[in-house]
Amino acid sequence: MAPLELWASPEPTFARIDATTVRDQSAETGLDARPDDAERIAALGVSVSRVPVLWERVSPADPHERDYREPERRLDALRAAGVEPIVTLLHHGSGPQYTDLLDPAFPLWFAEYAEATAQQFPWVRRWTPINEPLTTARFATLYGAWFPNMRDDRAFGRAMVNQTLAQQAAMRRIRRVIPDAEFVLTEDLQRYAAGDAVVAEYVAFLRERVYLSVELVAGRVGEGHSLLPFLSERCGLNALELAMMQRDAAVPDLVAFNHYPHSERYLFTRGGEIADVPAVYVSGEPPPAVGPLLRAAAERLRLPLAIGEVHAHAPEAERVRWLLQHAADVNGLRADGVDVRALGAWAAFGMVDWHSLLRQRARVTEDGIYTFAGPNGIPQATAVATALRELAATGRIADTGVRGWWERDDRALPLEELIAMRDAGIPEGDHLRTIDEALA
């Protein structure tokens, strides 16, 4: 088995929150303004970094007008530093203002942008056309958090079809320019737990849906697939669309799953409805762990895997603990012969307002590998940077005995209290921030 790749990458989301509001993490973290971030990435001893060349920033007003100067500077700097890029073209976005996730023209516009970007950077080998397509579709069309702010199965189906066709077409067009281009698909890796028998069937459905974006783009959704009735009857996908996605299958060369404490969910019935809270805050639920989830994904997908984003909202010693746990799980899986090829530390330069999915401008900043410096400051290395260098040099991170908030007893709250906080608009996990600050 080849040596484990280590990645370090910035948070670059460009999300359309509603019809008039966007959040641009590249601008808010200062990523687009600093000339020396590539040197900071290279200093970590990693070999790869996921790099945004985002459609909304390069071609914001006219699909035929593109300005690559800012991403070209970043890519050239990484190349000079000896760090290989994985280029991302859409990161939790719905495209520039002239399109959106439900637009029938979305796949064509996106594929044209992908080919133009490949022509601009023909030396780039690895590509992520759309980051976390299932997650973006969920937030935008099932939860109403992002534009088009809907809660509708048919809108979800349309968003999934458009993103799938867009990724398939994008990889065809990229490979016209770069025949050996590799497709790296990224997605959130979730766990669902059933709190009672009433939700058991729905939880079983959600466990199947975890793999939907991978299986759609790989052309694996056809007769006999467990989600075909849902896609056909509830989401309105027709036989022609399903046949097109099978015909134009783009099997990922690598599936990079992302895992956060809130990726694991607990469902239960409340007042005749299904309630959904983070499992990490439910008494009796185990602390989140990526190992079992990644093993199950390997058995289901039979594709090379990676963990693309390792980050937790926590003090730096606890963020090291989160990285240590993920590295240990990856090493254990690899020792068992599971084809896990990479581990990616995330939020290289921090992030802002992700506690509310970017919906609140509260300036809740999170440090990552480096401190959050915003557009005017200078990022400083944290203990996560030291741990990542240690992992690169030795293959492991020393356990200092620190435990993360996701392992502490005080993380749990009664279910009714969790629901009351949600109904009051309090972001998930806010009850722990004061505890973390007191312990920092």
Instruction: Quote the pLDDT of residue 358.
Output: 96
Instruction: Quote the pLDDT of residue 422.
Output: 86
pLDDT score of 436 more than 50:
no
Strand, coil or helix: what is 5?
strand
Of 426 and 371, more confident:
371
Reported confidence tier of residue 429, pLDDT bands at 50, 70, 90: confident
Residue 282: closest CA among 428, 438, 68, 119: 428
Instruction: Quote the pLDDT of residue 433.
Output: 57
Dist CA 9 CA 25 (whole Å): 13
Helices (H), 104-262: 106-120, 133-137, 153-177, 200-209, 212-217, 228-229, 239-247
Reported confidence tier of residue 438, pLDDT bands at 50, 70, 90: very low
Dist CA 350 CA 371 (whole Å): 6
Terminal-to-terminal C-alpha distance of the chain = 40
Dist CA 408 CA 414 (whole Å): 15
Dist CA 226 CA 147 (whole Å): 29
pLDDT of 25-46, one tens digit each?
999 999 999 999 999 999 999 9
Partners of residue 26 on adjacent β-strands: none
pLDDT score of 439 more than 90:
no
Instruction: Quote the pLDDT of residue 13.
Output: 98
Domain range 5-439, its CATH number among 3.90.1150.10, 3.40.50.970, 3.20.20.80, 3.30.2130.10: 3.20.20.80
Dist CA 349 CA 311 (whole Å): 11
Of 74 and 440, more confident:
74
Whole-model pTM: value is 0.96
Instruction: Quote the pLDDT of residue 432.
Output: 67
Say if strands 305-310 and 182-188 run parallel, antiparallel, or are unpaired: unpaired
Reported confidence tier of residue 437, pLDDT bands at 50, 70, 90: very low
Tell me how far CA of residue 180 lies from CA of 90, 129, 267, 319, in angstroms.
Answer: 21, 15, 43, 36
**pLDDT (average), residues 355-382:** 96
pLDDT of 58-78, one tens digit each?
999 999 999 999 999 999 999
Per the structure block, which two tokens stand in for 91?
Answer: 């990161």
The length of the chain, given as a count of residues = 440
Task: Please return the burial class of 253, using the count of CB atoms within 10 Å of its CB with bins 0-12, 13-18 and 19+.
Answer: middle
Dist CA 178 CA 85 (whole Å): 15
pLDDT score of 434 more than 50:
no
Of 271 and 155, more confident:
155
Partners of residue 275 on adjacent β-strands: 268
Tell me how far CA of residue 83 lies from CA of 7, 258, 267, 305, in angstroms.
Answer: 9, 21, 42, 20
Residue 51: closest CA among 24, 22, 77, 80: 77
Least confident of 9-23, 255-269, 315-329, 411-425: 411-425
- Which residue shows structure tokens 């970007």? 117
83 and 37 Cβ atoms separated by less than 8 Å: no
Q: Element (H or E) spanning 188, and its range?
A: strand 182-188
pLDDT score of 1 more than 90:
no
**pLDDT (average), residues 264-292:** 96
Instruction: Quote the pLDDT of residue 440.
Output: 43
Strand, coil or helix: what is 270?
strand
Tell me the average pLDDT of the chain. Answer: 96
Q: Given CA atoms 407, 410, 411, 413 in this order, what sign does their dihedral have?
A: positive
pLDDT score of 247 more than 50:
yes
Instruction: Quote the pLDDT of residue 426.
Output: 86
**How are the residues of the chain apportioned to helix, strand and coil, as percentages rounded to the nearest 5?**
45, 20, 40
pLDDT of 128-138, one tens digit each?
999 999 999 99
